[in-house]
Amino acid sequence: MKSLNQTESAEPTRDATRESAAAWRDGEVEQDLASALHLSELSSQGTSPSNTVPNNCNSEYFKLLRFGVDSLYLSYPGEILPAVDDKLKELKQIAQSPEPFEQVEAQYPINGHIFEVKDKGARLFPYILEDNAFRIQLSRSQSVPLAYVKISSEYLTHVGSAMAEKALEAVLNQLGVVHESANVSRIDLFVDFVSSENMESWDRHAWVTRASAINTYSIERAFSGWVIGAGGVISCRLYDKTLEIEKQSKKFYLHELWKKAGWNGRDKVWRLEFQLNREETFARQRPQSMNLLLQ
């Protein structure tokens, strides 16, 4: 599998990091994000929302099961509504109660979502609302975005990135005045596959990359995968997803999605992920429409 031995994922070195920052400013990386999101949406056309793919173009050496967006972090410029600010301040105080029966009352329902209001905020974001679809950090300051949001992997699997963002925007419109479409702060693109290739068979020198950090990992002495360029603007992970599910995430619902794509239930399923981070997320806001990304 030459593509795995010659992957050019990369955490840039210091010089390359400056080049990557320039690429963000020039829109080159944003074009890559647009293409990637567009392809992830096309993958679900004619199939279920899980982005499972048909069995054609597979072989014994490489069998494609799923691909798409696994993680999506968005920020929205705007300002919180005064009434919402007051209500969330009240609910946050309830969440800080020492009595568990009072803590459970710290809930904020919107559009069928019932958000838990956390007892603590985050830096620059005094309010955090969370359910099984969204983790929303809200700001009271006009110097930072109104909202910084993580869309859960499970929700992206269920509805896809376009519908998830549409539902999120409807929620945010009830929390504040949104001035622009979403800015993409981070996106993780993935592909799940089965292969007869021994992923532990090559050494670090086999990776063609500008990244200085190339690491292998194991779980209970079993080889679990590679991480290339950790902490960089662009990083790559190749790991045993079946092992990760069993030992860590417990996302067994993926088993059924893989089986629909032809997985036999026994072979290891490997996941290749590319994580793309937007530099200077809040220091330099560049309008980047999610509608454009999903066209």
d(CA 277, CA 260): 32
CA distances from 56 to 39, 53, 81, 269 (A): 18, 8, 51, 18
According to the model, what pLDDT value does residue 278 have?
A: 84
In the chain, which residues have pLDDT < 70?
Answer: 1-59, 279-295
pLDDT in tens, 107-136: 999 999 999 999 999 999 999 999 999 999
Amino acid at 117: V
Other CB atoms within 10 A of residue 242 CB: 21
pLDDT of residue 1: 37
The per-residue pLDDT for 59 is 65
Distance separating alpha carbons of residues 131 and 2, to the nearest angstrom: 41
The residues with which 239 forms a beta bridge, in sequence order, are: 225, 271
Task: Kindly report the pTM of this predicted structure.
Answer: 0.76
Query: How confident is the model over 233-286, as pLDDT tens digits?
Result: 999 999 999 999 999 999 999 999 999 999 999 999 999 999 999 865 444 444
What the block records as the tokens of 76 is: 């929205």
pLDDT at residue number 21:
42
Residue 73 pairs with which residues in a beta bridge? 150, 186
Neighbours of 223 (CB within 10 A): 15
pLDDT of residue 102: 96
Residues 170 and 110: their CA atoms lie apart, in Å, by 9
Quote the pLDDT of residue 15. Answer: 45
- Contact between residue 206 and residue 91 where contact means Cβ atoms under 8 Å apart: no
pLDDT given at position 255: 98
DSSP E strand boundaries for the chain: 62-76, 78-80, 107-110, 113-117, 127-130, 134-138, 147-151, 176-178, 183-195, 214-219, 222-228, 234-240, 270-277
Q: What is the pLDDT of residue 60?
A: 78
